[in-house]
Structure 1
Amino acid sequence: MRLDRGARTILSDIDLVVPRGSITAILGPSGSGKSTLLAALTGELAPAAGSVEVFGQAVPRRHRELLELRKGIGVLLQGNGLLTDLTAGENVALPLRAHTRLPPPVIEQLVLMKLHAVGLRTAADLYPRELSGGMARRVALARALALDPPLMLYDEPLTGLDPIASGVIMSLIARLNATLGLSSVIVSHHVRETLPIADQVLVTANRGIVFAGTPAELEASDDPLLRQFLRGEPDGPIAFDPASAASHEATPASPATPGASRPATEAR
């Protein structure tokens, strides 16, 4: 699969499989195409070549069919996206009111259940301005889970959070994935916080996937490019300015997929 933004190729030769029930971490430096890959999974960006499948079907291009597919995909944005004039509970209720015909009392109970799942049941009547950064991120997570999506996408979930709040969010992601039977894709540049909860890891750089494997395999790698990324070294195979990476060739790799597990998403 190849993903372009205008005339510029962001990622090429992508071969990605996300097994059901797993947590897949997509790591890489800023500007390496991580969020672009998420945009392809949600149908926001059509691939310039190749195809994307979610739940065993190609991501549709027709608007109505795409909206139906997106009901099964929860997305946690790095900016939270909470509406400031609504309480935490009203924010969580938005997807339920927009996409279901449930009576208000049922919606109220579901909202409390979702907030309870992220440890914020008592915050239902608070406005976003009354929440800490970590609390606001958890409310946004509760809203993303409102329709019980089988697939969760996290776009830089730790942006702007302190180390304690970051630990809480990552622990919550792992717990929810296990207890709710979700498949999760986490896009992040926070390596140390993300690796402990990931089942498989992909690293994007120089317009491609340069590593695919387990967290242990990543940390054991002696590849100069991967060592540079993991250690945060300014000089090395990864160019600091993404635009200057055009002269580099990516070395794509395909993540291993358990044979008994049907993938939640595929990109080829």
Structure 2
Amino acid sequence: MTDDNAIAVRLDHVRLDRGTRTILSDIDLTVPRGSVTAVLGPSGSGKSTLLAAVTGELVPAAGRVEVFGREVPRRQRELLELRKGVGVLLQGNGLLTDLTVAENVALPLRAHTRLPDEVIGRLVEMKLHAVGLRAAADLYPRELSGGMARRVALARALALDPPLMLYDEPLTGLDPIASGVITSLISRLNDTLGLTSIIVTHHVHETLPIADRAVVIANTGIVFSGTPEELQSSSDPLVRQFLDGQPDGPIGFDAAPRERAA
């Protein structure tokens, strides 16, 4: 029997629709506290849609989504409170171009706390130090490399010390060195800060080394859930097609028509 206190995120028989289309169906998933869980799958398989359900952006058509033992609320005030405990690193970073690095990182602190400016300044300094960018505090986003901008966005996502971090394609658009820096940071911060992390990505070989658990999504469902070692040794044709980059197999290259919602 699983101890509910050991579970950070739970999806129970969840169906997720976009309009009249079912994107994911009958999803059962548990994410242990303190773990790094990689959610893998081809583009358009529904990985980001799953994250939208965890943050409450998308209400499930069926089933239940829980974060730290509490069902994701639908009332706006309660949902905002839950989101304070969830950090999200967006694929496009989402930095405001007319603000400095320090001002971008300070945004969540100014929006959600009443801390004095001196304290906010010190916290921003600490967050930037954690991602190795303390010296970049006065730069603007246009003056940053892609990898630096991603690290600033990570510092901002960590500003409120959330226990849960969600990463939406954190390696997209980065060169191999910058990708290595980001994956190393995710792993180190997860351990040192006691976080739980969910990484949505199609960058399999870069992400698996830092993951405790791996989940593969394809054809509207979860087709694999287990350890990275079990994933690598899987002989399932669908899993092998995805891992080996085979053009032909059970995952169609062209997007298959989605099942219509009931």
CA distance in 2, matches of 1:83, 1:204: 32
Counterpart selection for 1:238 from 251, 256, 260: 251
Equivalent position to 1:218, from 220, 231, 247: 231
Aligned length in residues: 247
1:110 match: 123
- Aligned with residue 184 of structure 1, among 176, 182, 197: 197
Paired letter, 2:250:
P
Residue identity over aligned pairs, in percent, reads: 81
Of 138, 148, 157, the residue aligned with 2:161 is 148
What amino acid is aligned across from residue 119 of structure 2 in structure 1?
V
DSSP 3-state at the match of 1:226: helix
Match of 2:58 in 1: 45
Secondary structure at 2:172 match in 1: coil
Give the Cα–Cα distance (whole angstroms) in 1 for the partners of residues 193 and 127 of structure 2: 12
For structure 1, which runs of at least 5 residues remain unmatched after alignment? Answer: 248-268
1:170 aligns with 2:189: no
Structure 2: how far apart are the matches of 1:244 and 1:73? 33
Query: How far apart, CA to CA, are the structure 2 residues paired with 1:110 and 1:223?
Result: 47
CA offsets 1:113-132 (integer angstroms, 9 cap, x no match): 00000000000000000000
Q: 1:75 is aligned with what amino acid? A: V
Q: Is this contact kept in 2: 1:239–1:245, CA < 8 A?
A: no
Give the match for residue 194 of structure 1: 207
Question: Which residue pairs with 1:2 in the alignment?
Answer: 15
TM-score computed with the length of structure 1 as normaliser: 0.91
> When you count strand as a share of all residues, which structure comes out higher?
2
**Structure 1 residue 18 and structure 2 residue 38: aligned?**
no
Letter in 1 for 2:136: A
1:55 Cα shift? 1.1
The one of the two structures with greater contact order (alpha-carbon pairs below 8 A, sep at least 6) is 1
Q: Which aligned segments of 4 or more residues in structure 1 are displaced greater than 6 angstroms?
A: none
The TM-score, its normalising length taken from structure 2, stands at 0.93
1:245 Cα deviation (Å)? 6.6
Contact 1:21/1:182, CA 8 A, preserved across alignment: yes
